[in-house]
Amino acid sequence: MNDLRAERLQVMLSPEELAAVDDFRFKHRMPTRAAAVRELLKFGLAAAGVDAAAGVKSSSFGVFGRGPEGHTQSDPEGSKED
């Protein structure tokens, strides 16, 4: 397990909330619900003006990078931009 993800957070969702997460996940071709929730959390924190991880990109955590054609698997060398 990634040292940066040592904590588990359990969340109960309504069927409608879960459908919204799944819709976001599939629309953005994300590999897991957890990846989608992390991305949504990052967006929410940014919208609230909270810089939770200054200078850290989601691709640094191995979820995905953004290529010219949308989301792509991250480069192990970390050379892709977010």
Dihedral pair phi/psi, residue 56, rounded to 5°: -105, 130
Q: What is the mean pLDDT of residues 4-32?
A: 92
Run of H or E including 26? helix 15-27
Establish if 30 belongs to a structural domain. Answer: yes
The residue ranking higher by pLDDT, 77 or 29, is 29
Establish if 63 belongs to a structural domain. Answer: no
Establish if 68 belongs to a structural domain. Answer: no
pLDDT of residue 12: 94
Establish if 74 belongs to a structural domain. Answer: no
Determine the Cα–Cα distance for residues 5 and 59; give it in Å rounded to an integer.
14
Q: What confidence tens digit (pLDDT) does each residue in 49-58 have?
A: 877 665 555 5
Poorest-pLDDT segment among 30-34, 39-43, 44-48: 44-48
Establish if 78 belongs to a structural domain. Answer: no
Domain that holds residue 36: 15-48
CA 77 distance to own-chain centroid? 19
pTM over 0.75: no
Q: What is the mean pLDDT of residues 47-74?
A: 57
Determine the Cα–Cα distance for residues 31 and 77; give it in Å rounded to an integer.
20
Establish if 21 belongs to a structural domain. Answer: yes
